[in-house]
Amino acid sequence: MTQLLALTPGDAGIVHPLVALAVALLLHLIAAACARFLAPRLTRRMPALDLALADRVRPMLRHAFSALLIGLATALWPQGTTAHLVLGAGLGLSVALLADQGLRALAMPRWAALPLALILFLMILSGTSGGLAPVGQMLDAVGIDLGKRRVTLLGLAQIAATCILLFALIRLANRLVGRSIARADAFDATQKLLAQKLAAIAVVIAAFFIGIDMLGIDLTAFAVFSGALGLAVGFGLQKTFGNLIAGIILLMDRSIKPGDVIVVGDSFGWVNKIGVRAVSVITRDGKEHLIPNENLMTQEVENWSYSDRNVRVRIPVGVGYDSDLALAQQLMLRAAQESPRVLRTPKPNVWLTGFGESRVEHDILVWISDPESGVGNVRSDVLNRLWILFREHGVTIPYPQRVIHGAEFRSQTQ
């Protein structure tokens, strides 16, 4: 200490910034140790927060503690010195890194995260050096007049920062609310999906009004805009809002749920997702059909799993007239019972449906409980097994035949 007091002013101008830099690095190491200790305990108590922040709780805690500790050191250090400026730079860097980690955790693009982090760094650095007011005045002086309003760089920066911040908060709130609703045991899958969509709409509306208040925009200015929006909804956005309301109704009455197997027109598949605009239906070919929600409200829809997931599959089979029908029907039942996807209850059945031109027509009726796995593969499996059994027991499947009598043949040739 006596050696530091004995330093000349020129030496103090070099040593004090180095001491401030060492203090900032030490406080950052302490913050890293605190984050390493607290992050696992926090994620165990709040797993939804860790999932919402994409496993970035620990680096965010490190930068948050670092900003807190360096901020205290900056407040206690004498102002107007180079050392105070060094601590201010460390504080600004910690806050900028905290903002960058948070925005990256919320999947914000780099072009939006980096400018905001840079603005925060410059603002904190200018504030700690006493130069924030001049910087603000300089940005406010650069602008153009549009009618009665003046658009400045400071105003544009405030609007951009506010929009990015609100967008990040919307994503964070949606993730936290969505995770909380997903873990709720009182709701089924459809009710959870409906609650998540309604919560997302409520969060967006709340963020809109909060942003209006933060930017100081007079709501009376939206009187004309609301009228224009009403006309747009009435004409151009009619289908969009119609699909939105139809999607909410589908979720409320639970007529179509994720996982249901439906047929709409030529589209057959299982419902993967009910979105704001359309329902995603995945076919057995792996194609994903996006069907507008309004179509499901106005068109006829076959829901194979609305009240019961069991579906009956009809498999037509014909045997020769010279075959033992009792044996053939027993073999049909055996082939159906041996198929792995065919249910034992309700049990398979065989119906004789008619006498054809060259064969006796039968229908094998089987039940399955997983229609999303396809129907054609069940028919194929049963028919393959039946083919082998018919070959083993001498049951014939006749070819189509036509008998032409001699007089009829002569009349046709003449």
Residue 200 lies in a domain: no
Residue count (the chain): 414
Considering the domain architecture, whether residues 166 and 255 belong to the same structural domain is answered as no
Flag whether 183 is in a domain.
no
Residue 318 tokens read as 């014909």
List % helix, strand, coil for the chain (3-state, nearest 5).
60, 15, 25
The domain boundary residue, chosen from 292, 307, 322: 307
Answer yes or no: do 349 and 293 share one domain.
Answer: no
What 3-state class would DSSP assign to 102?
helix
- Residues 167, 37 share a domain: yes
Name the H helices within 254-375.
293-298, 325-338
CATH number at residue 230: 2.30.30.60
Range of the domain at 276: 218-307
- Both 241 and 336 in one domain: the answer is no
Cα separation, 297 vs 283, whole angstroms:
20
For residue 262, CA distances in Å to 135, 238, 258, 374, 394 come to: 62, 26, 10, 12, 40
> Are 268 and 328 within one domain?
no
pTM strictly above 0.75? no
Cβ atoms of 179 and 48 closer than 8 Å: yes
Query: 258 with 355, same domain?
Result: no
* Pairwise CA distance, residues 47 & 101, whole Å: 18
Could you tell me if 321 and 285 lie in one domain?
no
Q: Is residue 191 part of a domain?
A: no
> Is the domain of 242 the same as that of 364?
no
Task: State in Å, rounded, how far the first CA of the chain is from the last one.
Answer: 130
Q: What angle do CA 194, 195, 196 make, to 5 degrees?
A: 90
- Tell me if 91 sits within 8 A of 72, measured CB to CB: no
Whether the CB-CB separation of 265 and 257 falls below 8 Å is answered with no
CATH number at residue 318: 3.30.70.100
Distances (CA, A) of 60 to 107, 190, 272, 398: 15, 34, 35, 76
Environment class of residue 52 by beta-carbon count within 10 Å: exposed (0-12), middle (13-18) or buried (19+)? buried
| Residue 209, in any domain of the structure | no
Cβ atoms of 297 and 342 closer than 8 Å: no
Contacts for 86 with CB less than 8 Å, ≥ 6 apart = 17, 20, 21, 24
Torsion angles phi and psi, residue 272, rounded to 5: -90, -40
C-beta separation of 144 from 150 below 8 A: yes
Residues paired with residue 208 on neighbouring β-strands, in sequence order: none
Q: Count of alpha carbons within 13 Å of 83, Cβ hemisphere only?
A: 20
The arrangement of strands across the sheet holding 278-282 comes to: 288-292, 278-282, 267-274, 261-264, 302-303
Domain boundary among 307, 324, 345: 307
**Helices (H), ranges, 106-152:** 110-128, 132-141
Q: How many domains does the chain have?
A: 3
Residue 196 within any structural domain of the chain: no
- Claim to verify: residue 123 and residue 232 sit in the same structural domain: no
Whether 65 is covered by a domain: the verdict is yes
Question: What does the pLDDT profile of the chain (414 residues) look like in tens digits?
Answer: 344 444 444 455 678 888 888 888 898 899 888 888 887 887 777 766 656 565 677 888 888 888 888 888 888 887 777 787 888 888 888 888 888 887 777 777 776 677 777 777 777 777 666 555 555 566 666 667 666 666 676 667 777 777 777 777 787 777 777 777 777 776 666 667 777 777 888 888 888 878 777 777 666 656 666 666 666 666 666 777 777 788 777 777 777 888 888 888 777 888 888 877 788 888 877 788 888 888 888 888 888 877 777 888 999 999 988 888 999 999 999 999 999 999 988 899 999 999 988 889 999 999 998 887 878 889 999 999 999 999 998 888 887 666 665 555 455 555
Selection from 363, 397, 369, 401 nearest residue 382 by Cα: 363
Peptide bond before residue 292 is cis, with ω within 30 degrees of 0? no
CB 250 within 8 A of CB 256: yes
On whether both 342 and 371 belong to a single domain, the answer is yes
The verdict on 28 and 165 lying in the same domain is: yes
- For the record, the structure tokens of 208 come out as 């809109």
Instruction: Answer whether residue 11 is part of any domain.
Output: no
- Fill in the DSSP letter of residue 344: S
Question: Per the domain annotation, does 199 fall within a domain?
Answer: no
Same domain, 296 and 382: no
Q: How far is CA 157 from CA 91, 140, 217, 357, in A?
A: 21, 10, 15, 84
Q: What is the pLDDT of residue 310?
A: 86
